[in-house]
Structure 1
Amino acid sequence: MGDYSYEPTVVGFHEKLEKLKEEGKQRAHNFFKDLAPEHWANSYFKGMCYGEMISNAAESFNNWIKEGHNLSITQIVDTIRTQLMQQMSKRRDQANKWNELICPTFEIMLLDSFNNRKSWQVSKANEDVLKVHSIPSVTVDIARRTCSCFKWQINGFPCDHAVISIQKSHYNLNDCVEHYFHIETYRATYSGVIFPIPSMKKLPFDPTDFTIYPSTVKRPPEGRKRIESHQGVRN
């Protein structure tokens, strides 16, 4: 779905769909127009997807456990458990070595954007609201973490307009990044522990943990016992 799904504005979304139609790709256009855009288009999505619009995570997971595809269900579950246990431990140790506020990958993105000083002019309405004279011009509200290009709202990460506006304000750049990208959140994600299971084939068993009592049987009345006894003799 390419550019259509990532387009942040409703106007831009429909312009690209019309362009697709003009290029003669009517079949693709008909396919898209019958789909509810709030499920696949940034411009209509009501929540925050943090820039993720693909299923690579699921595909990576399937590839990650491909060696266990031919195993029994219990062996597959144990393989997944072991790999998750190792992955969580590795990432937990890694995150404990970080000393910044933002995760390293996004810290680099912020620095690159901060150092990439564009030739845009910025006009202040006040300390919160600024106009960036880009093409087209946009309005940035730092207090509300919004930009009229809509990229800041969609990704939760300051767009280039926001970064240059923050540079001209009293705000701290790191404080304008959603908590999703903070190291603290990353650490919380992997704070849980998956413990080993002694054996997949035979779990530990202590016979003293269970007491099996004989079943309760009611004794028949004496008269019934004598009748059953006589019947047994005649037979």
Structure 2
Amino acid sequence: MGLIHAVERIFPCAEHRFCLRHLHENMKTRNFRGLAYKQHLWKCATATTVAHFEKFMADLKAFDAKAHKYLSDIPPRQWSRSHFSGRAVSDVLLSNMCEVFNRWIVDGRDKPIITCLEFIRTYLMKRIDSTQKNIMKSDGVLTPKATKVFELIKKEASKYSVIYNGSRMFQVTGPNNEQLVVDMGQESCACRKWEVTGMPCKHVIACIWNMRANDPKVPRPELWVNQVHHRKRWFDTYQHAIIPLNGRDMWPKSNVTIPILPPKKIATAGRPKKSRRKGLLENDNIVEGGKLSKKGQVIKCGICKGAGHNRRGCPTRGGAEAGQSSGTKRKSMEI
């Protein structure tokens, strides 16, 4: 919590969001386990409007009131797209970007501070160089990832029809009686996807096509996308290279007379762990050999079909096995 308060003080406009994967792990520790809980959670988190969010939360309440109470105590602006402000122009619900970076620097984290920083600096040099090469290979207005996503959105937009009201506003209708209002003057859509992601949704693209049919000077759909998804912004982000350094034997000597001592460290038993700390229930469903665990399942007997015991502990095991063995002998004799 200290880090959260520090970030709020230094970056007062920054939005604090929770990773949905970790939120789901916390639900598991409170016995809200199973695929149904996960599906309800993701429906609430991926809803882009407050109306849909409240509908999915009501469905969760009908399914499990305690799980609904647990999620209701968490501010939705920190985990549901329906309450994101749109200032960050991102609908990311997971912390995968941080996890990937943490994975790549795992070999340098247990080194002394200078060695660790040198490891990270070298890795970032390689990463920036690799990204710059990918930028040079790509073309178009948007980044390759944004282009792929935008093409799927345009494909969906072909299913919608548009009615213009004469003042930069449109009524868009589509499959399943869907009907939404798009305000091109405010650059907003009732579904809020354009506002949250910075990328025009299928309803907006249908409106842009309608506008271009009447006025060829209207910019094409790609130019309505927020600058964060443009290839030029991608290039500007990675144009600042990290300066290489000489080895330690060529570093200038410091004239500071006050020595900086390392922090006191209490040696613990065993080697320090390098692997990521896994969740409390992360490996509950897996055992050695990749087989699924039977934890929580009711054991059924293969002989009497009763619950709570297996074939080995079946009370009718003797008579049943005797009958099976005699039947087998009788069948072999008939053959």
User: For residues 175-207 of structure 1, what are the alpha-carbon distances to aligned partners after superposition, in whole Å with 9 as ceiling and x for unaligned?
Assistant: 1100110111101111111112212x444238x
Cα deviation for residue 18 of structure 1 reads 1.4
Larger Rg belongs to: 1
Q: Which of 26, 31, 37 lines up with 2:76 in the alignment?
A: 37
Deviations 1:5-55 (A, max 9, x none): 22111111111111111102x332122111122222222222334221211
For 1:223, the equivalent position in structure 2 comes to none
TM-score relative to the length of structure 1:
0.79
Task: Identify the match of residue 246 of structure 2 among 191, 198, 204.
Answer: 198
Match in the other structure for 1:52: 92
The aligned counterpart of 2:273 is none
What secondary structure does 2:178 align onto?
coil
Asked if 1 retains the 8 angstrom alpha-carbon contact of 2:161 and 2:206, the reply is no
Distance in 1 (CA, whole Å) between partners of 2:143 and 2:132 is 13
Alignment check: 8 A CA contact 1:140 1:161 kept: yes
1:79-98 residue pairs with structure 2 within 5 A?
79-98=119-138
Are 1:130 and 2:130 counterparts?
Answer: no
Determine the C-alpha separation between the residues in 2 that align with 1:122 and 1:8. 21
Q: Which residue of 2 aligns with 1:188?
A: 236
Going from structure 1 to structure 2, the CA distance change for 1:147 and 1:63 (only over 3 Å counts) comes to: same
Unaligned runs of 5+ residues in structure 1 are: 213-235
Q: Distance in 2 between matches of 1:23 and 1:159?
A: 31
Match of 2:109 among 51, 69, 92: 69
Deviation at 1:56, TM superposition (A): 0.7
* In structure 2, distance between residues paired with 1:9 and 1:71: 47
User: What whole-Å deviation, never above 9, does each CA across 1:89-147 have from its counterpart, x for those lacking one?
Assistant: 22123213433211122122223332445432211113732111123200112232211
Return the offset for 1:69: 3.2
1:177 aligns with 2:225: yes
Relative contact order, higher structure (CA 8 A, sep 6+): 1
Which amino acid in 2 is paired with 1:142? M
Please give the alpha-carbon distance, in whole angstroms, between the structure 2 residues aligned to 1:60 and 1:127.
Answer: 47
State whether residues 139 and 148 of structure 1, in contact with CA within 8 Å, keep that contact through their aligned partners in structure 2.
yes
Q: In structure 2, what residue type is equivalent to 1:106?
A: A
What secondary structure sits across from 1:168 in the alignment?
helix
The residue that corresponds to 1:165 in the other structure is 207
User: What secondary structure does 1:139 align onto?
Assistant: strand
Any runs of at least 4 consecutive aligned residues in structure 1 with deviations exceeding 6 A, and if so which? none
Q: Distance in 2 between matches of 1:38 and 1:70?
A: 36
Aligned length: 207
Distance 2:44 2:250 in 1: 52
TM-score (norm 2): 0.57
Identity fraction in percent: 23
Task: Find out whether 1:109 has 2:156 as its counterpart.
Answer: no
